[in-house]
Structure 1
């Protein structure tokens, strides 16, 4: 693995020849990130600048440096960190409102084209980005107004269990946004099979909801409502979803489907949170990027804990340091963050 650095014009500046620690975190439906700690040599200081592109030659994605720190505690050290270049989509907002009533891929094509790839205002265009939609057979019925473009797109991907990444081509210096669906893998992870080492299992229903009352246009008794109902008695957990921003005139006969889509999206954020965070034994019976990879569905077992999960790999963290390299894998969805909870009750 080699780390190449490109300047803001995407010209190759050089290769990082020495570092102390490198963390590369890939995420399925969200933007990944990285952190690099290196000696503060003249070469490293000249290469690792805010805005520079960092690319390791065994991965499709690249990162953009957003943070730079020089420190001296006995020796001079340089730390840089940032997110993958998918984060550049977040430099745009949805300028006004977008009504989305087609396949997920076409909806994301609409958002990217209107606000990043070929917007009406040429100052908003990012010429180095491209996207080619492919029908995923995932219908979307919603309206989004004035949100951050990256947040809106990753929320749609997360609700639909679709992955997103931005592929960097060093030869052309272009970025291609790609949607993908993780396939079923035959991999089985278990400490008993000696392919897992440290492991943490979490299971929380604190934020769980399975029934939603969705309120659309109107006031008082004239307001339009629809509902998604599941469970009864103590097993029924209710949530109100305010969808007043969805206008009937924008959806016509599909208005109820638009309200239901909003409800389904909010309930997806409020599912029971089960996750299995583990360090993978790289010398076990499974090979990273051959037997398993980000987004794939796998089986995770722990006989001692009585845990059996058919789940998706949602995050992979690669760590390189003086002791070699390791891989930490997150299976499933963790407990909701505060930001997700706030979105869920909007």
Structure 2
């Protein structure tokens, strides 16, 4: 555990439980349970940083502390917080006019991180220990615009639209938190460039499977409404579909300056309403595929269940590391099934964007 100045505060390995969740498109989270009277617990204060196995990309900010008693009457401290990427949740995209930028996803995301965390015009908004990794121009080229939106939501939406991940990692030598993108690798059974990774009960490397295929929120045609009122409002159609398979919706895109930008913004919003296909499972450590060596967060792998008739080539969007008497790893592939909180937050963001 360290503080913001990278001073070592304690080394703790005698905890009851630790769960550390890494996510591809957004910040992850952690939760630790530890007896209140163990060595190093006195350093587990808010805003200190826990680092897992001294790995630069596995660190989290302590934001919550709770003390209680377990079933044996032992006093236990529970700490929680986001991974380092949670710091993006502390900013909104403050700008007089819409901040518009076009470029590769990496360039666009780092533009907003720079403007609101690193080199903000308002010096009080700057975080001196934040930095961007060198921009290599990776990811799909996209236009983007934002104004008074949560920075973490902006970066998350860009990441999902362009299918590229991101993280904030530690740089001990420079004493910086570094924002960077995660492209991921194609490790599916259908490619022959890299050794494929296949998770299946037939290979005895996965258990506790769960598969979701849902069209409940799916829309494939959007009528993007731009500037103007009533009959004078500019409308552009995005997407496509015919007959009963055509699912229409209206998209409020009043911040678009012209027809071309209206189409871009409409496509971005419509992409949030795609089908939900997800596959979850607990990985069995058989030695056939080693975590963070043969496969990692963000890689596209093949999940297979012959008894369910399901084969899915999809990206690993979440990896939960559970450190208990029996450590294990749980992964999620494909789209994240939205919670009520996420849906409400998304709708709130849409309102702010159209104001």
Once the 2 structures are TM-superposed, how far is the Cα of residue 169 of structure 1 from its aligned partner?
2.1
- The residue matched to 2:160 in structure 1 has which SS? helix
Specify the alignment match of 2:39 in structure 1: 43
Q: What residue in structure 2 maps to residue 252 of structure 1?
A: none
Q: Which has the higher strand share?
A: 1
Which of 254, 265, 289 is 1:286 aligned to? 289
Identify the match of residue 226 of structure 1 among 236, 240, 244.
236
Local SS of the residue matching 1:102: strand
Change (3 A) 1:108 1:174: same
Q: Which of 4, 7, 21 is equivalent to 2:3?
A: 7
Deviation at 1:120, TM superposition (A): 1.4
Residue 61 of structure 2 corresponds to 64
1:110-166: CA deviation from partner (whole Å, max 9, x where unpaired): 212221111111111111111132212522223211011111111111121110001
**Residue 94 (str. 1) matches residue 104 (str. 2):** no
Spell out, residue by residue over 1:209-239, the C-alpha distance to the aligned partner (whole angstroms, 9 max, x if none): 1111101111122111111132211111112
Partner of residue 21 from structure 1, selected from 17, 34, 44: 17
Query: Is contact 1:142-1:258 (8 Å) kept?
Result: no
Partner of 2:253: 243
For 2:27 and 2:284, the matched residues in 1 are separated by 25
Aligned residues: 334
- SS across alignment from 1:6: coil
**Deviation at residue 178 of structure 1 after TM alignment:** 0.6
Q: For structure 1, which runs of at least 5 residues remain unmatched after alignment?
A: 249-254
**1:276 counterpart = 2:272:** no
Gaps of 5+ in 2: 188-195
> 1:18-66 CA distances to partner (integer Å, 9 max, x unpaired)?
1010001000011011011111125333111111100012452310001
- CA RMSD in angstroms comes to 1.7
| Equivalent position of 1:201 in the other structure | 211
Q: CA deviation at 1:17?
A: 3.2
Instruction: Please give the alpha-carbon distance, in whole angstroms, between the structure 1 residues aligned to 2:343 and 2:90.
Output: 23
| TM-score normalised to structure 2 length | 0.90
Please name the residue that 1:114 is paired with. 115
* TM norm structure 1: 0.92
Partner in structure 1 of residue 333 of structure 2: 331
The Cα shift of 1:289 comes to: 1.3
